Structure 1
């Protein structure tokens, strides 16, 4: 079939159709995906000691998996994850959850579309957050975040209270991400794969913005083209393929995370 005279709309539709059968996802459990996400983010510069939390909904409503307080992202495995309820009571596993996980419960309550939450303090996101300026999306690769990043300008303090949960859940609204001033970032993903990919992307976006700001004034990209790119890249199949790629990269050094 010749496509040399096809319109862009037709070519996009054709590519999306082919992706449905050409891209096959690796078969991992949610626990394994969450553990892989921890290792991927560790290698991607999201490590900040014991700061940050990664959670995903579990089978029982009002429960989710998360890492144990005291373990770094590079130590998380499928078997040492905790199952907790929204009050952070441990239902399965040893130890305790990070008390800052409380605001995850607020976000899960507000957003039934969210399956996985990633909150981290990667270096470039954290550096940008100290300037109290929003994240600017002005590059093609970053367009999955275009129009989907909220901004909390004032730091409400350590997020261990219900007040911080209400503030952060309200500030992110229906968006996929939020930049938290003097703090870090949060991703609210429809899947573990999407959350992981966007978390990697937001740190790259912050790094790119800091580099661009040091060189001059960032120029905006046309909104219509940015939204077109957002919709083109933000597909479950593409997120799945990207997640599998990141997973292959880390499994050579972190194959214990699947155990």
Structure 2
């Protein structure tokens, strides 16, 4: 088994000696444009099922997007008003940065294209972006503070997330989408005050995982704050830990168990 050199530091930190003829899931490489598009759509549909199972849905709110690999002015997203738990590959719609649906019959959530179009425009390195109204993300966002390096998992976001503190109702205007994108900056995430969380990644799986673990880190910090005086990990150790658990490829690997579990239990997701 040949492992790309860029993956070796992660693997050396995470696994023991590799057995002969080792089997290890790796991100697909060398795909054609059509194959890459299909892979992103499959990952997107699986991510929605995961979000649904984890209770991240809130009515019609929430969206995950994947940039089209051929036309950077287009992205794939969930259709408006459809349950995360039912989304299949064939249900996904493709929209441009003005919200015009170019593939699919259902409309798009206005906030989805207002926010995500600006995020994708500002971050050409970001293949995907995820936003949902999850319970602990919403609760934590009301504090208007950053995540602290209280745990190993939270260190993935140490000095790597912004705060958007100008909530002005449902995001309906392009200018507010630009502000959200500016709050993310070159980080992997942002806390949207009084709103929730948003994450980005170099793959759909990475963006989805950052959302999952950021939500749980919010839950852990809220619990710690309620219990007493949390003790933070020191600056140098937090930075070291971020380098170990906070890379894009680490996000892809971390999401893999959820991906495989979902595919095994919901084979219709690829219909």
**Normalization by structure 2: what TM-score?**
0.85
Equivalents in 1 of 2:170, 2:199: separation in Å? 18
Confirm or deny that 1:15 pairs with 2:12.
yes
Counterparts of 1:140-219 in structure 2 under 5 Å? 140-219=152-231
Equivalents in 1 of 2:213, 2:82: separation in Å? 24
Q: Alpha-carbon deviations, 1:16-72, whole Å to 9, x = none? A: 6978x7632376711110000011111223111210111010121200000100102
The structural deviation recorded for 1:193 is 1.5
Q: Which residue of 2 aligns with 1:95?
A: 106
Counterparts of 1:115-130 in structure 2 under 5 Å? 115-130=127-142
CA gap of 1:84–1:37, structure 2 versus 1, over 3 A, is same
The structural deviation recorded for 1:82 is 0.2
Structure 2 residues not aligned, in runs of 5+: 1-7, 29-37
Moved more, 136-145 or 107-116: 136-145
Q: Alpha-carbon deviations, 1:163-183, whole Å to 9, x = none? A: 211211111111110011110
Equivalents in 2 of 1:151, 1:217: separation in Å? 23
Equivalents in 1 of 2:126, 2:9: separation in Å? 27
The structural deviation recorded for 1:203 is 0.6
Please provide the CA RMSD for this pair: 2.2
2:147–2:158: 8 Å Cα contact kept in structure 1? no
Equivalents in 2 of 1:61, 1:151: separation in Å? 26
Q: How many residues align?
A: 248
2:93–2:105: 8 Å Cα contact kept in structure 1? yes
What SS class does the counterpart of residue 140 from structure 1 fall into?
coil
CA gap of 1:85–1:213, structure 2 versus 1, over 3 A, is same
Confirm or deny that 1:113 pairs with 2:125.
yes
Confirm or deny that 1:37 pairs with 2:38.
no
1:133–1:153: 8 Å Cα contact kept in structure 2? no
Q: Which residue of 1 aligns with 2:25?
A: 24
The structural deviation recorded for 1:248 is 2.0
Q: Which residue of 2 aligns with 1:50?
A: 60
Q: Alpha-carbon deviations, 1:141-161, whole Å to 9, x = none? A: 222122111112231321111
CA gap of 1:253–1:155, structure 2 versus 1, over 3 A, is same
Equivalents in 2 of 1:187, 1:13: separation in Å? 21
The structural deviation recorded for 1:137 is 2.7
Equivalents in 2 of 1:153, 1:235: separation in Å? 26
Moved more, 234-243 or 217-226: 234-243
**Normalization by structure 1: what TM-score?**
0.88
The structural deviation recorded for 1:13 is 7.9
Q: Which residue of 1 aligns with 2:268?
A: 256
CA gap of 1:236–1:166, structure 2 versus 1, over 3 A, is closer
What SS class does the counterpart of residue 89 from structure 2 fall into?
coil
